[in-house]
Structure formats: C-alpha cells, structure tokens
A and B are shown apart, each in its own frame.
Chain A
Amino acid sequence: MKRIAVIALLGLGIAGILWADALSINGAGATFPNPIYSKWFDEYHKKNPNLQINYQPIGSGGGIKQVTEGTVDFGATDGPMNDEQLKAYQEKHGSAILHFPTVLGAVVPTYNLPGVSTSLNFTGEALAGIYLGKVTKWNDPLIADINKGVKLPAEDIVVVHRADGSGTSYCFTDYLSKVSEEWKTKVGKGTSPNWPVGLGGKGNEGVTGTVKNTPNSIGYVELIYAEANKIPYGSVKNADGVFMKASLASVTAAAAAAAKEMPDDFRVSITNAKGKDAYPISTFTWLLIPAKFSDNAKRDALRGFVTWMLADGQNYAEALSYAKLPKEVVAKEKKALANIQ
C-alpha cells in the first residue's frame, strides 16, 4: 500500500513539473489566415511539446480589441491598425505594438453571367463604377472595351458585397480607393463601408451563394476561398497595365514590388502595386505582437515561433493556397524581431 502511495505521489509530482513547464500562449484575430495559423501552431507544438499556442479566429477587429485590452498575448489582423488604434494601445500599455506580416492573400472578382464562359477582364475603373452604381449594364463600354470578343448581355448588373465586417472588404475598398478618386471621397476604405448599391452576403460563402443564385451578378471573395471551392474569377488590370489573374505567384510579386518601400513598422498596403507581374488586389496579413512582455518565457516563445514561421513555416503556405512572403520582407522581419522585449 505504502509503495503504491509513494509511486502515486511521485507520479503526481512529475506531472506537476511537466504541467508547470508547459507554456500556453493565447492569440485571437483575423479569420482569413486561420487555416494556416492552425497548421503552424500545430506543427510548432509538435516540435516544442512544452509550448501550446491557442488561436481564436474572431475577426480582425476583435483581435485588435482583445490585444489592446490585454486579454490575449498577441493579435492578428488583415488590415493594419490605424494611428488612432496604435495610440490607444500605447496609452494603455505604455509601450508599442508591432506588426509582423505572415502570409499574403488576395481578393478576386467573381460573377454569374449566363452564356459567358470565358474569364472576364476588369479594370479598377470598371469595378469602382460597378460598385458605385454608375456602371449598371454588363455591356457598358467600360466593361465591353476590355473584353473584346465576349458577348456581354444588355442586362442590369446585380452587385453583391460582404454584409459582415471583414478584412476582405477592407482590401477590396482599399484598392478601389486607390484607383478611383470618386470612390475615395464618396465611400472610402473600411471593414464595413457604406455601400452605395448592392446586396449583402454574410461571409465568403454568403457572397458566393448569392452570386451563384443570381443571374448577371458580380461579387468579390478571397482567393483561397475561390480556389478551394473552384469558383471561376476574373482578371484585374494592374498598375502597369497588364491584366493579371490572381495566383500565388502574382500575389507574392505584388508584395515583392512593395517590399522596396516597406516602412519599418510593416504597415503597408500593397493594393495596386507596381510591377507587371503583380496582382493588384493583394494584401498582407499581420500578427500583432506587443513590444514589451512582462513574462520573459512568453516573449522568448513568441520570438522563437516567429523565427520558425519566417523560415520553415513559410513552406506550409502554398499547400493551403496562401502566397509566401517575399525574401526581402522575411529579412526585414528577422531584424525587427529584436524589437520584441
């Protein structure tokens, strides 16, 4: 009996030590990178069994809010924090919050035109016109002139957008704001803009469902969603005048073009990027990591994770349809890791 008790106690003690050693880090934020983040945290946990990173995909806005409140150790967002939000964080914590790009995504125009099977071309001007409600027919010269040889119907365009606040809408309206002065002044960029026209669908699946169900409609979805669900999508004319179809390569090309002008805080928009291979409606997605940690173990663990993510982690991206970071950005981020203290 005694021996059993001793062994049991010993076992409990060891379990206790192991338990104490296991470090748990919590994060929350963007839903768009959730598949790759889950994969990364899982793989990293296999390499470092004592470190468990938990991630809740509650949306970019929620991620920014929670990391500012201090209820999670790190956040994640599809649109960089604005100056006001950075200031709010600084005031609350007395230190800064840092942006670390992880992978890239893109937004693609999708449509339902009965009788048209070829892939359509779009320009920023045409997309802005359609979403402003000024281009109302499919055979409008703005669309017809860039789609020579396609028989476009003289039907009304049914516009579909995201109804829920979303980083996808942010990226799309950020692009429209850059290519259309009228869009910039009338609507602007944001996660839930005040859409001049159109039907709202909830989530990528809501937009896709509405587009599929409605003849002569147009919508926009994330590239990985379109790829995973085999949804046809059109090409968009980039800043160099080339019609580009979104692909992992053309998205990375947009990031590479922007990398040269990358600011030190990594808050950069890469929509309408220069370069003939760049897809114009692309975006980084970021981790939000506090510059100051009170817990050194957590600091070291997160630094370790980001280092791994920038090297081995990137290799998991393409299998899940995310575009990898360009080399220049990886190098710059490695240097920036020293800012986490």
Chain B
Amino acid sequence: MATASTSLPSAGPASDSRALLSRLRDGDEIARLITFIFAATVVLISILLVLELWHDSALPRHKFGFAFFRTTTWNPIEGEFGALPFIYGTVVTAAVALLIAIPLGIGAAIFLAELAPTRISDTLEFFIDLLAAMPSVIYGVLGVFIVVPLMRQFIAPWLKRILGFLPLFQGPAYGVGFLTAGIVLAIMVIPYIISVSREVLLSVPSDQREAALAVGSTRWESTWKVVVPFARSGILGSIFLALARSLGETMAVAMVIGNDPKISASLFAPGYSIAAVIANELAEATSELHTQSLIALGLVLFLLTFILNGLARILIVVTSQRGAGTARA
C-alpha cells in the first residue's frame, strides 16, 4: 500500500523533494498529517488507558490472579476482593435495560420516521435530543423519587402476582435493586435508540418504499418488510451505543441499585455495578490493595465492554449478510 500511494523511498531525492513541496503547497500533505495525528490520538489514548489500568492493578493481579473474576467476597477490611458480584450486576442491569429499551425505542423510531407527520416528528425529535443530553445524575434523582417508590408500591407487587412463580420475581422488594436500575437505564438509553434509528430510517431511499407500495404492499408491510431491514445495521448500531452507555453508567445506577455486592436470582434484590463501586469507594480507599482492586475492576469493565462490543460487531456482520441475502432472494 505504502509504495503504491506515495512511494517515497524508490523515487530519486530531487524529484521527491519537488513533489513533496508541491504537495505541501497544495495543503494535501499537511491536512493528511494533521488529521492522521488526530486519528492516532484516539488509538494512543486507548493504549495509554489500558497500560495505566494494567500497571496500577499489579497488586490484585498478582495476589488474586484469575480468581478475581470468580470470587464473590468484597471485604476491604480483610483485604479480600472478588469481582463477580459487580460483573453480574453490570451485565444484568444492562440486559434488563436493553430488553425494555429496544422494543420501545425502535417502535418509537419507526413511528417518528415512517408514520408520523413531519411536524410532529421534528418536534418530538427536539425533545428526544434534549433527553439524550440530560446529565445522568438527573435520571438518578428521577429514579430515587419516582421509580423507586413506584417499584415498591405497584410494579413489584404486580409482577409478583403475575410472574411470581419465576425466581426472577420473588423475595422482598425494597424499591432499589437490579430491576429498578435496569428501568432507569432503559429510560436513559431509549433517546439514543430513537434518535439514531430515526435518522437511519429517514435516510432509507424513498424508491425502496415506492417499489414496495407499487407491488401492492400496505404502508405497514413496506415499513416492516422493506424499510426496517434496509436500515438494520444502523439500528443495531444504535443498540450498541445503548449497550455501551448501560454498561458504563455510574451515577444513576449508584443511586438506585442498592449498592450491595451480592448475586441474587431475584431482580428485586439489591446489587452493585462495577462503575458504581469505583465511584463510591475510590475516594476513601484506605489501603493500596483496595485502591488497586478498584482499578482492576476498571480494567474488567474495559474488557467487558470490549468483549460485548466485539460480539455485537460479529452479530452485525452475520445478520446484515443474512439480511442482504433475503433481500436479494
């Protein structure tokens, strides 16, 4: 590639400098260099971040090794640290959030892009963007004062009555817990899904719709069978954005998850997430091992995000290939 595009070493020195000079004068080379530096900083920051997390978590890595991932005790006084309850809490709350947010978010996006009059769609989009830009602590306050009491008084008793035979919906409900955190996260990420999915749906060429209508589809058939599959990878992109946000959300989760490092089958039980425990304990961590174990948790969160993102990308590739196949057939 390098020889094909610029081929600096092979050409003579004189012609080289002249070519370089003219390219510099045109600004192409400068622009290329500057934008390359900007792009490289992204990679550099990621590498620095991992190096820093790796370097500053040496104590727990040596002391606990891989046991760190599967032990469940978190006891700063005795110096015992295990990450499993936090990994569990992070994954469960993100899963609950996506289960709620995906149907609601995509449904709303379809309505706004395909069915609603433009004026309504644009007005609502303004509010959705506003919601997406809201600081997370405000969602936390909303959670504490609205979702938590609702959960304790109405949602939990109702779920127990209907789905109480499942272990997921048993046990005492305090109001805070996995389910509440998941609901608050869902409220936070729905605007992302709606906003991105709506843009993608709107950018589907209108001849696709017209073709579907021309062969006798109803409005809904053209939307559901043609437009949505066409926009599939963009919609999946919005879901991954929502997933990343759910995994890393700190403040709102810390306020409603109950902050108890335990693994429970019940969604009503209090739990803990990685981001929340780092935020809660880092400032007052008194021993070096405690501090470094929290940093190790940061590394775990990084890995978790990395793995889930990778899986998500594989999913995109697989499904978009299949989608393209069915579209052709």
Contacts and interface: CB of A to CB of B under 8 A. Distances in A.
A206 B149 contact: no
Interface residues of B, number: 32
Overall SS of chain A's interface: loop
B283 A62 contact: yes
A59 B284 CA distance: 6
Interface stretch (A105-113, A188-196, A236-244, A290-298): A188-196
B284 A166 contact: yes
A158 B174 contact: yes
Interface in A55-91: 58-62, 64, 82, 84-85
A164 B284 contact: yes
Given A199-B176, A206-B255, A164 B78 contact: no
Contacts of B144: 209, 213
Nearest to B286: A61
A192 B284 contact: yes
B259 interface: yes
Interface in B262-292: 270, 272, 276, 279-281, 283-287, 290
B190 interface: no
* Size band of the interface chain A makes with B: 35 or more
A200 B280 CA distance: 10
Given A198-B260, A202-B254, A213-B148, A192 B281 contact: yes
A201 interface: yes
Which 6 A-B pairs give the minimum distances between C-beta atoms? A165-B284, A200-B259, A163-B259, A194-B75, A61-B284, A59-B283
26 contacts: A58-B283, A60-B286, A61-B283, A61-B285, A85-B286, A158-B174, A163-B259, A163-B280, A188-B77, A190-B77, A191-B286, A192-B281, A193-B77, A194-B75, A194-B78, A199-B258, A199-B260, A199-B270, A200-B280, A201-B259, A202-B255, A209-B144, A213-B145, A213-B152, A214-B174, A214-B175
Interface of B: 73-78, 144-145, 148-149, 152, 172, 174-176, 254-255, 258-260, 270, 272, 276, 279-281, 283-287, 290
Given A165-B284, A192-B290, A199-B260, 20 more contacts: A62-B283, A62-B284, A84-B287, A158-B174, A164-B284, A165-B281, A165-B285, A190-B77, A192-B76, A192-B280, A193-B77, A194-B73, A194-B74, A194-B76, A195-B260, A198-B260, A199-B270, A200-B258, A213-B149, A214-B152
